[in-house]
Amino acid sequence: MEDIKKLEEFQAKIDAEIKIEPKDWMPEDYRKHLQRQISQHAHSEVIGMQPEGNWISRAPSLRAKVVLLAKIQDEAGHGQYLYSAAETLGKSRDEYIEELQTEKAKYSSIFNYPTLTWADMGAVGWLVDGAAIVNQVSLQRTSYGPYSRAMVRICKEESFHQRQGYEIMAHMANGTPEQKAMAQDALNRFWWPSIMMFGPHDSDSPNTGNAVKWKIKRETNDELRQKFIDKTVQQAEVIGLTIPDPDLKWNEEKGHYDFGEMDWEEFWRVVKGNGPCNKQRLNHHKKAHQDGAWVREAALAYAAKQKEKQLVA
């Protein structure tokens, strides 16, 4: 009885656009949904450091190196805020990381694709951060307070990343024939995985039901994907690159672009762990974690000794 009343009050708050805060009562499924979604988002920021980190040492100018380093540092910071937001739901960062490493938690599949040329630093910023922004702008209005606030902070930096990525692409598209070829190739490789970042079609998306009712998710996968495509097509045209979709066409009547069908077989294959870099990314993360174990132990031991000294003194 009491639970039904609490649930009604909870839904009333959601309907009145009042944010849910960590100490508030919430249904167990709401908590679980957010733990899963926010930690997945945090893991994505952290795993995403790898494909971009792959080019820091080879950045073609000192300015480009600094811009890339600063971007990756922002992503690490996003990981940090998001782990903190996820911790307010009653699980520690260590537990979340354990779930990542034991493959109970996922991260965005886009990071399971390799970065093969410098143009990929452009494509990742322009398309991957670009797609992330569309999703995250929408999540600024999500019903869970800490998540919503983390998104507001993160979105500002993401739009900066998107512009910097686009700048790299524009520069290369106007460069030597080799540079232009690299830029087009990067777009060819990253286009479809980027638009699949929004997830399956609404009709095939099992998690949408309660997430919409609870206003965790404010717009559906297909709505968000359409927004991203509409804003990106023109950007490609401006710099003279071709989006690798023969079915892409402006639909006057709908006021949107029509586009071709995505390869869902590939999508599920990568989600299930068989993308080109899934094993590499996870092993890299585990290795760094294991290599650092003695350092974390030493820091704890040192802190414990200091505490003891203070007590004695």
Partner 1 sequence: MEKKDALINYCLRLGDSSLILGQRMAEWCSNGPILEEDIAMTNLALDLIGQARTMLTYAGEIEGKGRTEDDLAYKREEREYYNTLLSERPNGHFGDTVVRNFLHSAFFYHLYQALKNSSDEMIAAHAAKSIKEVTYHLRHSAEWLVRLGDGTSESHNKVQESLNNLWEFTGDLFEMNEVDELLIKEGIAVDLNSIKKDWDKTVNDVLERATLSRPEDEYMQTGRLDAMHSEYLGHLIAEMQFLQRAYPTAKW
Q: Which residues bind Fe ion (CB under 5 A)?
A: 45, 75, 78, 129, 132, 158, 161
From the list partner 1, Fe ion, none, partner contacted by residue 256 (C-beta under 5 to 8 A by kind): none
Structure-block tokens of residue 131: 């797609």
The secondary structure of 166-182 as a DSSP string is HHHHHHHHTS-HHHHHH
In the bound complex, what is the minimum distance in angstroms from residue 186's beta carbon to Fe ion? 17
From the list Fe ion, partner 1, none, partner contacted by residue 311 (C-beta under 5 to 8 A by kind): none
Which C-beta is closer to partner 1: that of 185 or that of 230?
185
In the bound complex, what is the minimum distance in angstroms from residue 154's beta carbon to Fe ion? 6
Which C-beta is closer to partner 1: that of 204 or that of 308?
308
The secondary structure of 156-220 as a DSSP string is HHHHHHHHHHHHHHHHHHTS-HHHHHHHHHHHHHHHHHHHGGG-S-GGG-TTHHHHHHTTS-SS-
In the bound complex, what is the minimum distance in angstroms from residue 146's beta carbon to Fe ion? 16
Residues 6+ apart with CB under 8 A from 122: 165, 166, 167, 168, 169, 171, 172, 183, 186
From the list Fe ion, partner 1, none, partner contacted by residue 294 (C-beta under 5 to 8 A by kind): partner 1
In the bound complex, what is the minimum distance in angstroms from residue 296's beta carbon to partner 1? 6
Burial label, 39 (beta-carbon count in 10 A; 0-12, 13-18, 19+): buried
Which C-beta is closer to partner 1: that of 140 or that of 179?
179
Which C-beta is closer to partner 1: that of 124 or that of 224?
124
Which C-beta is closer to partner 1: that of 40 or that of 232?
40
In the bound complex, what is the minimum distance in angstroms from residue 285's beta carbon to partner 1? 8
In angstroms, the CA 191 to CA 236 distance is 11
From the list Fe ion, partner 1, none, partner contacted by residue 250 (C-beta under 5 to 8 A by kind): none
From the list Fe ion, partner 1, none, partner contacted by residue 284 (C-beta under 5 to 8 A by kind): partner 1
In the bound complex, what is the minimum distance in angstroms from residue 89's beta carbon to partner 1? 18
Which C-beta is closer to partner 1: that of 71 or that of 217?
71
Residues 6+ apart with CB under 8 A from 185: 117, 119
Antiparallel, parallel or unpaired: β 256-258 and 249-251: antiparallel
Residue bearing tokens 């979105």: 155
Which C-beta is closer to Fe ion: that of 79 or that of 259?
79
Give first-to-last CA distance, the chain, whole Å: 55
Task: Provide the 3-class DSSP secondary structure of residue 144.
Answer: strand
Measuring CA to CA, which residue among 16, 39, 181 is closest to residue 99?
A: 39
In angstroms, the CA 32 to CA 35 distance is 5
Q: Which residues bind partner 1 (CB under 8 A)?
A: 46, 49-50, 53, 56-66, 69-70, 72-73, 76-77, 79-80, 83, 118, 171, 175-176, 178-179, 284-285, 288-289, 291-302, 305
- Helix, strand and coil percent figures for the chain, each rounded to 5: 70, 5, 25
From the list partner 1, Fe ion, none, partner contacted by residue 132 (C-beta under 5 to 8 A by kind): Fe ion
In the bound complex, what is the minimum distance in angstroms from residue 41's beta carbon to Fe ion? 7
